[in-house]
């Protein structure tokens, strides 16, 4: 009996101990596992001192350009009269930028900055305000020259550079008055060159500079600069549905146009006095033309330069697809020995290379034969 009682007691103790072990294990399994945290300490590699020296040098360039050029940048306020819903005159104010080009007070800006203005006021960097008058405008290149009458010692002209030797990737700086924030500096690069920029009128400005320097409303008419502080373009437009895409009229166009705006009040665009069709392989096949590129002369302006030089226009209309084309005229293949792919090539060549009163040699095909005719360029009429 005693031996049986000892066995029962031993068995109870053993079961209790085993139960405790099982309970502990079950509890541990129910606890959430705690992940092991591994801390990695990244030690950045320090830049060499030379890198800081280069960055510092570029910053010094920016500072130097701004200190030298910002006094030449002006804030332009234009006031125009519009009609409200009841057809009552209502003044409306617009702002833009411009830059001084000489000690006589001539300022270059965009045409659209002062278009239709009843009055124009210019604010200089030192706070001086002065009324301005329009000297000349060129809507086709979106350029204008205005003039203020102030003491010459208050005027700080800019230096005009060149746009013919620019390179994509080159630094570009813009100074202007975006949203009325006077003389704001933004920095970027030249993103592309030789862009055609189509205006609302349908006219195309050629060789436009594309930049990613921040341009906003109010920057129009301000200078785009190189690292030497020379003007390389006039900021004129942005791509509304994109970021960091802005356009500037090249300074070579400015240097060609502005002297005539000051001298004549307008820029005299060279003109042949003809309307033509760009030849494509499809058009050549449909009309049986001897070439697949060039310009088919359609119509001539009576007493225009081409008419006087003996160029022949079309003599009968035919339907090609959905278009009516005047056929039978001369085919222009080259100008001054430069091959012309289409009508756009012809207009671009005249705009870039020629002036009113100069002559061009047109290589033409007439009745299957090649000829060269010389034409003295006239002035494109404004309609």
In 3D space, the residue among 224, 221, 223, 238 whose CA is nearest the CA of residue 142 turns out to be 221
Active site (annotated) includes residue 106: no
CA distance 62 to 134: 32
Write the Ramachandran bin of 140: left for phi over 0, alpha for psi from -120 to 50, otherwise beta: alpha
Q: Name the active-site residue from 142, 182, 226, 252.
A: 142
Q: Give backbone dihedrals phi and psi of 53, rounded to 5 degrees, phi first.
A: -65, -40
Same domain, 170 and 204: yes
User: What are the per-10-residue average pLDDT scores of the chain (383 residues)?
Assistant: 44 43 38 49 59 71 92 92 61 86 97 93 95 96 96 95 95 93 94 90 89 92 96 92 90 96 95 95 94 96 95 93 91 96 94 94 95 96 73
What tokens appear for 74 in the block?
Answer: 């002006």
Same domain, 184 and 136: no
Evaluate whether residue 188 is within a structural domain: yes
Same domain, 166 and 81: no
Q: Name the active-site residue from 70, 78, 97, 112.
A: 112
Active site (annotated) includes residue 142: yes
Same domain, 352 and 365: yes
List the CATH number of the domain containing 352: 2.30.42.10
Evaluate whether residue 42 is within a structural domain: no
Domain containing 102: what range? 68-154
Same domain, 274 and 372: yes
How many domains would you assign to the chain?
Answer: 3
Same domain, 306 and 350: yes
Task: Express each pLDDT in 306-328 by its tens digit.
Answer: 999 999 999 999 999 888 999 99
Out of 235, 264, 293, pick the residue that ends a domain.
264
Evaluate whether residue 55 is within a structural domain: no
| Torsion angle, alpha carbons of 163, 164, 170, 174, to 10 | 10
Same domain, 193 and 118: no
Q: Look up residue 382 and give its DSSP letter.
A: P
Q: What is the pLDDT of residue 30?
A: 40
CA distance 134 to 111: 10
Same domain, 364 and 336: yes
Active site (annotated) includes residue 112: yes
In 3D space, the residue among 86, 76, 149, 83 whose CA is nearest the CA of residue 115 turns out to be 76
What secondary structure does DSSP assign to 251-318, as a single string?
A: HHHHHHHHHHHHHHSB---EE--EEEEE--HHHHHHHT-S-SSSEEEEEE-TTSHHHHHT-----EEE
Evaluate whether residue 240 is within a structural domain: yes
Same domain, 120 and 73: yes
Evaluate whether residue 29 is within a structural domain: no
Whole-angstrom CA distances from 82 to 8, 91, 95, 243, 380 are 111, 6, 16, 31, 30
Residues whose CB is less than 8 angstroms from the CB of residue 132 and which lie 6 or more positions away in sequence, other chains included:
76, 107, 120, 121, 122, 146, 147, 148
Out of 93, 124, 154, pick the residue that ends a domain.
154
Out of 154, 188, 204, pick the residue that ends a domain.
154
Evaluate whether residue 18 is within a structural domain: no
Evaluate whether residue 57 is within a structural domain: no
Evaluate whether residue 30 is within a structural domain: no
Same domain, 252 and 349: no
Q: Name the active-site residue from 78, 220, 226, 330.
A: 220
What tokens appear for 272 in the block?
Answer: 């042949």
CA distance 24 to 22: 5
CA distance 262 to 256: 11
List the CATH number of the domain containing 126: 2.40.10.10
């Amino acid at each position: 009996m005693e031996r049986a009682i000892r066995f029962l007691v031993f068995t109870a103790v053993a079961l209790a101990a085993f139960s405790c072990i099982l309970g502990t294990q079950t509890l541990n399994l129910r606890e959430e596992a705690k992940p092991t945290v591994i801390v990695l300490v990244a030690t950045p590699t320090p830049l060499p001192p030379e890198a800081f020296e280069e960055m510092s040098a570029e910053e010094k360039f920016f500072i130097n350009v701004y200190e030298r050029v910002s006094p030449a940048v002006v804030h332009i306020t234009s006031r125009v009269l519009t009609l409200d819903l009841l057809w009552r005159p209502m003044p409306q104010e617009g702002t833009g930028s411009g830059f001084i080009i000489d000690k006589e007070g001539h300022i270059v800006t965009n045409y659209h900055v002062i278009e239709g203005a009843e009055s124009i006021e210019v604010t200089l960097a030192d706070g001086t305000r002065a009324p301005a008058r329009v000297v000349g405008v060129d809507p086709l290149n979106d350029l204008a020259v205005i003039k203020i009458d102030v003491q010459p010692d208050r005027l700080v002209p800019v230096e005009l550079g060149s746009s013919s030797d620019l390179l994509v990737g080159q630094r570009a700086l813009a100074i202007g008055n975006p949203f009325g924030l006077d003389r704001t500096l933004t920095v970027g690069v030249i993103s592309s060159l030789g862009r055609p920029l189509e205006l609302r009128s349908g006219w195309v400005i050629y060789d436009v500079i594309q930049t990613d320097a921040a341009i906003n409303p109010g920057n129009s008419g301000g200078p785009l600069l190189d690292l030497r502080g020379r003007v390389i373009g006039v900021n004129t437009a942005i791509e509304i549905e994109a970021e960091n895409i802005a356009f500037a009229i090249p300074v070579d166009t400015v240097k060609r146009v502005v002297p005539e705006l000051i001298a004549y009040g307008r820029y005299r665009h060279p003109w042949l006095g003809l309307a033509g069709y760009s030849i494509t392989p499809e058009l050549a096949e449909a009309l049986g033309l001897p070439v697949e590129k060039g310009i088919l002369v359609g119509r001539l302006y009576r007493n225009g330069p081409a008419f006087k030089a003996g160029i022949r226009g079309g003599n009968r209309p035919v339907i090609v697809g959905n278009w009516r084309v005047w056929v039978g005229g001369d085919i222009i293949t080259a100008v001054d020995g430069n091959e012309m792919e289409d009508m756009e090539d012809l207009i671009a060549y005249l705009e870039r290379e020629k002036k009113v009163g100069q002559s061009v040699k047109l290589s033409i095909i007439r009745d299957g034969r090649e000829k060269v005719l010389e034409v003295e360029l006239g002035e494109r009429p404004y309609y």
